[in-house]
Amino acid sequence: MRHSRSMQLTGLLVSSLSNQLRAVSGWLDKAEAFSGERGEEPDGLLALRLAPDMFPLTTQLRFLAFQAQEPVYRLRGEPVPEAVLEVRQEGRDGGERPGTWADARGRVADASAFLESIGPGELDFAAEQAIAHDLPNGMIFDMTGEQYVRDWALPQVSFHQMIAYAILRQAGVPLGKVDYVPHMFGYLRPGSAPAA
């Protein structure tokens, strides 16, 4: 469906991704507390997976951090920096080299800080710009910037966010739906929250 004016990519992309990364950071806080209560280190959670043929938590967190940054460079028409590509490679290697909890948290925090550096309206010009999104397996998708944000960038981050949530929840970390959308409390009408 085409609209008469371009969507405001910066606000949509940066706000959405920032909300998602803040939520994940909150989950990691809860996972640390959960591990501490059990007398365990949270590093042990990094190797957990939902199924044998799926990537572990450490990979989900790194892919999430990578894919929260990649669209900014693509929309700007810039190459993705080597340091950001290294985050993706760490994710690919996560099964053999899970790294530490602090490393994984740092990747999420770095992605959040990067998004905070994006200026208002900085990416809006790219709504109708042609994006050739190439994957490591050789597939190439031709889209506009708007289509890329809507149909690729946001769903990719959401996927890895949900898999991370599911892994932590399956491990027993006390997460609920409210942990997925904590940003919604900024819109809560005073006095409308149910009594505890």
Q: Which residue has the higher pLDDT, 4 or 107?
A: 107
For the chain, strand residue ranges (E) read: 130-134, 140-144
Length of the chain: 196
**Predicted pLDDT at 1:** 45
Reply yes or no on whether the pLDDT at 151 is more than 80: yes
Reply yes or no on whether the pLDDT at 11 is more than 90: yes
Q: Rounded to the nearest 5°, which phi and psi values hold at 90?
A: -60, -40
Block residue for tokens 């572990």 = 56
Cα-Cα-Cα-Cα dihedral sign, residues 11, 16, 19, 21: negative
**Predicted pLDDT at 6:** 46
Provide the whole-model pTM: 0.91
Cα-Cα-Cα-Cα dihedral sign, residues 106, 107, 111, 117: positive
- Fold category of 19-183 in CATH: Four Helix Bundle (Hemerythrin (Met), subunit A) (1.20.120)
Reply yes or no on whether the pLDDT at 4 is more than 80: no
Give pLDDT tens digits for 115-136.
Answer: 999 999 999 999 999 999 988 8
Give pLDDT tens digits for 154-192.
Answer: 999 999 999 999 999 999 999 999 999 989 988 889 989
Give pLDDT tens digits for 32-66.
Answer: 999 999 999 999 999 999 999 999 999 999 999 99
Percentage, residues of the chain above pLDDT 70: 96
Residue 7's pLDDT band, with cuts at 50, 70 and 90, is: low
